[in-house]
Structure 1
């Protein structure tokens, strides 16, 4: 199963949006970065800051920080392979509003230096980039925004479950972890999940056509601190946000972990 899953994960890594659905430009006077989605700048109904972050792999990622003035917790979101900031912008701003959290989301370099063949050394190099990318986003949360480890919830979607879970193993005071349609093996999540001692919520669709429902169920069984999972009946890989129970269950989870005293 591990080899098959590795091949599946490698295939996933080849398909980010191309061309990107967004672009970034700098204000000629202030130098402040602005995000445009398919040529149009979104209305600034929320407080969003766009930035470029260097990684320890010598790359540069684009990130956005959604500020919620009443939030006590911050969600660091590691998105799936077929997404970018243009596609995720409104999901990020809606989650920030409805969950009452700050949110950091960034462009992870899944396809950096990848050729369109299933070659695990190439795939492994790409995954190491994603680890560096999420570390850069986490460093920004601490250094620029003064966020504490114990006030951060990591969120990993699909292939993004790898970077989120990897970072979670290094943050013993993390508030919580969310795994959304996660991959069991290939990313070695099966080995890492027992190392996380904080509350874990697993979300998976029963009709997921890309990452079988069994991946989410097995990861949940391996969690040390299990939170009630969300198994979305008839949910597929890329549509779970459209089900009403998705947001309701997330709200319940965030409210619960917010009451847990920091370590």
Structure 2
């Protein structure tokens, strides 16, 4: 989340505040797109205009579909150098990309990676801020391979090739569209879906998990609410507060693993603790000693705990 001066924060919250403006000012930093979806000429007639970024370097093909009502269109994923893809053409060719449409009318870019063909679970991953699917693609391949799960992800409105502007309401509509696409397009049932949210991605994750039952939920560096990030001494949830995870987490009926670094400089460690205390279905959390906001994945405990959560905790519950 970007820094604001005290006077700017006061204006945001006291003038009177509008939740969507709070969300936009405090949270959303969509990067310049690092990928594009281009029509797969071998699979379907090409539309006249490609979607996404220019200046393409590496490229791969993927299955995919069009947006409802426009007929089936298959897309290829093209990455720019800024995506810093770390794998070979073979892995890139295995990434499926397509567009779906949210209830608020935005096109939502989606990505499906079959990391483990025999995997029981698929992770619906809501990424953090200032990144898009292109930048996350290498991480997804590595994560899915190491935890033996397939990975499905999407870009928020205004990120990557997704249309519209970032807002709190769009976040909820975006993940709903991704959930429905994962369910209908790939036929994956809720008991085989793990919802994973990182940083700002914990907001749509908690919202969806509070409304639908799934296999499990992972909250990585989560926030309790927008007000509590801006004003750490906030003790209650105001009607105009944005991202009120703290009020929704108690409604989650699936097992919840919370991961947080003790030295998080963006979302204080106290947020993870507060959510853990409010979550009735929380399992043993992972507090990573010395970790900040963006480096938890570099600690060995991270993959160890995820593997144990999926391989042992969930296996016991689903036995």
Whether these two folds match at TM > 0.5 is yes
Q: Does 1:49 align with 2:96?
A: yes
Q: Does the Cα contact within 8 Å between 2:249 and 2:279 map onto a contact in 1?
A: yes
Higher Rg:
2
In the aligned structure 2, how far is the partner of 1:137 from the partner of 1:43?
26
CA 1:227–1:260 in structure 2 vs 1: closer, same or farther (change >3 Å)? same
Question: Is 1:59 matched up with 2:106?
Answer: yes
Q: Distance in 1 between matches of 2:185 and 2:28?
A: 32
In structure 2, runs of 5+ residues without a counterpart are 1-12, 45-73, 227-242
Distance 1:74 1:226 in 2: 20
TM-score, with length taken from structure 2: 0.72
TM-score by length of 1: 0.86
Give the distance between the partners of 1:109 and 1:33, measured in 2 at CA.
Answer: 19
Cα 1:247–1:181 change in 2 (3 A) is: same
1:152 and 2:152 aligned: no
Whether 2:80 is the aligned partner of 1:38: answer: yes
CA contact under 8 A between 1:81 and 1:110: conserved in structure 2? no
Asked if 2 retains the 8 angstrom alpha-carbon contact of 1:220 and 1:226, the reply is yes
Asked whether 1:194 is paired with 2:250, we answer yes
- The 4+ residue runs of structure 1 with deviation greater than 6 A are none
1:249 Cα deviation (Å)? 0.9
- The alpha carbon displacement at 1:248 in A equals 1.1
| Aligned position for 2:234 | none
Residue 180 of structure 1 corresponds to 220
User: Matches of 1:163 and 1:95 in 2, distance apart?
Assistant: 21
Is 1:75 aligned with 2:123? yes
The within-5 A match list for 1:212-227 is 212-227=268-283
CA distance in 1, matches of 2:124, 2:182: 9
CA RMSD of aligned residues (A): 2.2
The size of the alignment, in residue pairs, is: 246
**5+ long unaligned stretches in structure 1:** 115-125
Q: Indicate the structure whose relative CO is greater, using CA pairs within 8 Å and at least 6 residues apart.
A: 1
Are residues 22 and 175 of structure 1, via their aligned partners in 2, closer, same or farther at CA, if it must alter by over 3 Å? same
Write out per-residue CA displacement over residues 161-187 of structure 1, whole angstroms, 9 at most, x where no aligned residue: 110011001113x11110001110131
1:188 CA drift (Å): 0.8
Report the Cα distance in structure 2 between the residues aligned to 1:148 and 1:79, rounded to whole angstroms.
Answer: 22
1:63 Cα deviation from its structure 2 partner: 0.8
Give the match for residue 146 of structure 2: 98
Counterparts of 2:38 and 2:296, CA distance in 1: 32
8 Å CA contact 1:201–1:226 kept in 2: the answer is yes
Rounded to whole Å, the distance in 2 between the matches of 1:258 and 1:190 is: 28
Contact 2:77–2:95 (8 Å) recurs in 1: no
